[in-house]
Structure 1
Amino acid sequence: MLKKLLFTTATALAVVALVEALGAVSLRLTEGSWVGWRTLEARRAALRPEPELRDDSRAARRARQIRGRHDEGVLHPYLGYVLHPSGDASNDLDGSSGAPARESDAVAGEGFKAAAVTAGDALGFPDNRQPLIQRRSADKLLVGVFGGSVANIFVDTVGERFADQLAGLDAYRGRDVSVLSLAAGGYKQPQQLMALNYLLALGGELDLVIVIDGFNEVALPPHELVPHGVSPVYPRSWRTLVAERDPTLLRATGELLVVRRRRQQRALRWSAPLLGQSLFAGSLWASLDRRDGRRLAELETSLRDASLIVESRQMLGPPLPSGVDPVAAMVDVWARSSLQMSSLCEGLGIAYLHVLQPNQYVPGSKPLSDTERRTAFLADHAYRPGVLAGYPLLRRAGAELSQRGVAFLDATDLFSDAAQTLYVDDCCHFNPEGNTLLADAIVDSLRGSGLPAPTTEAAARR
């Protein structure tokens, strides 16, 4: 009896070992290299919908939320698009539910100042937990951060720590610091310039403006705009945002949501104990995930290529002159927009700092960790060519801005000596440690710039 049990057990183990070996070989053939279960689990973790089963960093969750929320953007007459209030994701981060905190009595005044006092909802920046339209005063410091998703995640992830750091500067010591986000995923100049003008036109006031950008300006237009006949200066996905879609495209949108959800749920189910450690099961999961990944790419391409019922030059924006490089043209727009923001701030007594964000696709800008090489770097990423062509131009233009008196911080090489994992995805976003390093660099730059103590004189002139 014992011999029979041992034989049965040995046979079962041999079958399992054979099946696992077949799974390993299958993965080797389909993936191009030997892949372990931990690598597969990391890939599944990036797809799973449950925050507690994903990357454990707040910044990683925000990056995923902001990327997903771009689909919820609504047209805006001055900013291109803003986020719908229902897109608020702040509650997902602290486990709470219901509407974000509102401070309806925080702003005194008439008209817009009395009406637009929610936590950013009315203006299209729903991640803020305090009013965007506020008055300056001697006992507080109003800081506006402008840019794309990197800037938005920066405020959400390290905003409170950053506020404490600013309060420790001699120029701002003892003031109650409010760090406000006027950034949104995909924003690129001149959207930052327009957002500042829009806030000021509605009666908002700021003491310090910080712009964190550069990546979107050079990465997005060559991939998302120019190939579809849209001016590179227009907002991202503009052709899709203004398109009247036919039923075929509506069906494609619905299928995209279904496939995306199916992919997330499969990643969750196949991460169960034992199943998640099986290479045979992993090979089956990888095959199904590749199929859905290809279908998602096809659907996303079909939506990007959506035809406009009325496709006019006014709708697609001004064409570039023949022979003009769109990346170089966007760097010029980026620099001119920063100069305009700096001049506007100077005239209103607002301190200004422009920061060129780091990015992993800039050669030599960071020694990538093993995790980053697996999850945060794709040699054929669609955004990489724009970064390679654009960042040398951005850095040169930034140096010229400095020579013209614009406060500018080139943070491209901020992570050049950091061997630890800082990037959370293959786009551009940082984990909390990366955002902390960026905050420290910004504070050091502000400390060295001889900032004047904010006063209410400029506000009184307005």
Structure 2
Amino acid sequence: MKDFKLSSKTSEIIKIALINLAFLLIFLELGSLGWYFVKHKQFFYTRSKAQDKSALGINLEGVRLNQSIVNRLHPFFGFIEKPGPDFRPGFKVNNYGFMSPYDYPFKKTKPNQFIIGVFGGSVAANYGIFEVQNKVLPRYLKQLPGLKDKEFVILSFATGGYKQPQQLLILNYFLALGQELDFVVNIDGFNEVALSSLNNKNKLDLAMPSVQHLMPLTSLANNSLSVKAMQLTLKIKDNKNRINDGLTSLQHCSLAACDALTSIYVQNLVNNYRKDVIRFERERIKNEQDDEGSVIYFNKTNLVLDDKAAFEQMAWNWAKSSIFMHKVLSASNVPYFQVLQPNQYYQTKRVFSDAEKRIAFNQETPYAKAVEIGYPALLKKFPNLEKNNINILNGVKVFDKTKDVVYVDSCCHYNQAGQEIFSDYVASSILESMRKDRARSKKK
């Protein structure tokens, strides 16, 4: 009898525990649904599923998912991404280190193909990927006479960290190899001031490639990494694999609670990744060899330029490089458009929500001051660019009319909503400009 009562009591306890667990899971799911709606502005169960891991709501600033901690040295471009597969369907890091479905130089396979080249840094690289997937610019260009029946091919020559004169050098390199281009878009401005400013602080010539990207490569080439730095490299690589696995799991979550808990887990991994990268950088600097022992030569300076002189030189490097890109392309009647990219640290009339402020701004970033001083210096070069017949688009205010979150990190990159707005701005502005040019030509 006692055994029966004990069994009955145990059964009742299990039943109550299961009911409580069910209620806990229901409340967790409801709370997660609310959290997801606030974060993404859409209902979890009717959401449009992200095809790109960068669109999952995780702040991946500085995380190079399919790369080691460093890029690869390149004798002409400075550095490139390591060629190989990419997690985006239909893309790869091609034979020259660019994100593209094609190897370069790309040869036309049909007479009606129209090749658009995209140049710049990571924002331009993301734009190129978005355009390949969505063909916003081709849709606008098809409205022009003679382009309606063209098959548009978009080739990206952009990579994270590139800044002028790298775009100019890469353009000339591929033209020398016989790469055909029918249209070129160069999206830049941020790297030219943000990364050149870091060059200046490290007494590296402003026109040299980014010190952020070059110095870790130099340490590896010189075999000057400490044991601790090597251990951190392995730790970073292992953590990156976990981030990739977590993002894959996040893409396949069927419950809001799964999305919430996995997001927290992955974001924690990303935060640890960033901390390890900072530790690695400190170790690398400790063991950095002087020029005498280095197998890599850099143009260095004797002093750090003051802000006025430094940003004036950066702005001229930017403007002159663009002028020469235009000159070499105009010789073959190839339209060239330059776009000054929007950035959160350049103040416009845009009002940021509290949610976006937490994503888009970082008080400790070295980029903020560089953009605040550097963008006005770039804008002062607009009259000179226009005098040289450059089609220059000022995109700094492109997000002013939207209240949606458009930044995905505290550097410079845009989420899906931001990409849509930016790509539409670029395409509509180019179409308007080309229509005006054609109208002027008819009057002559």
Q: TM-score, structure 2 length as denominator?
A: 0.73
Q: Is the 8 A contact 1:190 1:333 kept in 2?
A: yes
d(CA) in 2 for partners of 1:435 and 1:288? 26
d(CA) in 2 for partners of 1:396 and 1:207? 29
Q: Is the 8 A contact 2:112 2:149 kept in 1?
A: yes
Which aligned pairs between 1:375-414 and structure 2 lie closer than 5 A?
A: 375-414=359-398
The code of the aligned residue for 2:52 comes to: R
Question: What are the Cα deviations for residues 169-202 of structure 1, in whole angstroms up to 9, with x where unaligned?
Answer: 2352221111110111111111100110011010
1:29 equivalent in structure 2: none
Cα distance change, pair 373–122 in 1 and its aligned pair in 2 (3 A): same
Match of 1:227 among 201, 216, 227: 201
d(CA) in 2 for partners of 1:442 and 1:288? 35
1:56 equivalent in structure 2: 50
Same amino acid, percent of matched pairs: 26
Q: CA deviation at 1:298?
A: 1.8
Greater mean alpha carbon deviation, residues 366-375 or residues 255-264 = 255-264
Q: Is the 8 A contact 2:164 2:317 kept in 1?
A: yes
Does residue 81 of the first structure (1) align with residue 79 of the second (2)? yes
1:50 equivalent in structure 2: none
Q: CA deviation at 1:126?
A: 4.2
Q: Is the 8 A contact 1:139 1:174 kept in 2?
A: yes
Q: Is the 8 A contact 1:67 1:185 kept in 2?
A: no
Q: CA deviation at 1:234?
A: 1.6
2:232 equivalent in structure 1: 252
Q: SS where residue 141 of structure 1 aligns?
A: strand
1:140 equivalent in structure 2: 113
d(CA) in 1 for partners of 2:304 and 2:271? 40
Does residue 354 of the first structure (1) align with residue 338 of the second (2)? yes
d(CA) in 1 for partners of 2:171 and 2:387? 23
Match of 1:298 among 279, 284, 287: 279
Q: SS where residue 373 of structure 2 aligns?
A: helix
d(CA) in 2 for partners of 1:286 and 1:177? 38
The code of the aligned residue for 2:380 comes to: R
Q: SS where residue 449 of structure 1 aligns?
A: helix
1:179 equivalent in structure 2: 154
Match of 1:167 among 137, 142, 162: 142
Q: CA deviation at 1:405?
A: 1.5
d(CA) in 2 for partners of 1:300 and 1:54? 38
1:238 equivalent in structure 2: 214
d(CA) in 1 for partners of 2:177 and 2:234? 37
Q: TM-score, structure 1 length as denominator?
A: 0.71
Q: SS where residue 411 of structure 2 aligns?
A: coil
Q: Give RMSD over aligned pairs.
A: 4.5
Q: CA deviation at 1:209?
A: 0.9
d(CA) in 2 for partners of 1:218 and 1:262? 34
Q: CA deviation at 1:263?
A: 7.1
Match of 1:124 among 81, 97, 112: 97
d(CA) in 1 for partners of 2:65 and 2:273? 17
Which aligned pairs between 1:260-339 and structure 2 lie closer than 5 A?
A: 260=240, 294-303=275-284, 307-308=288-289, 310-311=291-292, 315-319=297-301, 323-325=305-307, 326-339=310-323
- Unaligned regions of 5+ residues in structure 1, if any? 18-35, 46-52, 101-118, 454-462
Which aligned pairs between 1:148-159 and structure 2 lie closer than 5 A?
A: 148-159=121-132
The code of the aligned residue for 1:93 comes to: R
d(CA) in 2 for partners of 1:176 and 1:327? 41
Q: SS where residue 315 of structure 1 aligns?
A: coil
Q: SS where residue 204 of structure 1 aligns?
A: coil
d(CA) in 2 for partners of 1:156 and 1:286? 24
d(CA) in 1 for partners of 2:152 and 2:243? 42
Greater mean alpha carbon deviation, residues 232-241 or residues 213-222 = 232-241
2:419 equivalent in structure 1: 435
Cα distance change, pair 247–297 in 1 and its aligned pair in 2 (3 A): closer
Q: CA deviation at 1:389?
A: 1.3
The code of the aligned residue for 1:234 comes to: M
The code of the aligned residue for 2:191 comes to: N
Does residue 203 of the first structure (1) align with residue 182 of the second (2)? no
Question: What are the Cα deviations for residues 185-226 of structure 1, in whole angstroms up to 9, with x where unaligned?
Answer: 111111100110011010111111110011111112333x33
d(CA) in 1 for partners of 2:285 and 2:206? 15
Q: SS where residue 385 of structure 2 aligns?
A: helix
d(CA) in 2 for partners of 1:445 and 1:247? 51
The code of the aligned residue for 1:134 comes to: K
Cα distance change, pair 296–141 in 1 and its aligned pair in 2 (3 A): closer
d(CA) in 2 for partners of 1:142 and 1:342? 16
Cα distance change, pair 357–285 in 1 and its aligned pair in 2 (3 A): closer
Which aligned pairs between 1:438-457 and structure 2 lie closer than 5 A?
A: 438-450=422-434
Match of 1:93 among 70, 84, 88: 88
Q: SS where residue 355 of structure 1 aligns?
A: strand
The code of the aligned residue for 2:203 comes to: G
Cα distance change, pair 305–335 in 1 and its aligned pair in 2 (3 A): farther
d(CA) in 2 for partners of 1:305 and 1:263? 28
- Unaligned regions of 5+ residues in structure 2, if any? 25-30, 41-46, 439-444
Q: CA deviation at 1:276?
A: 7.8
Q: Is the 8 A contact 2:71 2:82 kept in 1?
A: yes
Q: Is the 8 A contact 1:358 1:365 kept in 2?
A: no
Greater mean alpha carbon deviation, residues 128-137 or residues 438-447 = 128-137
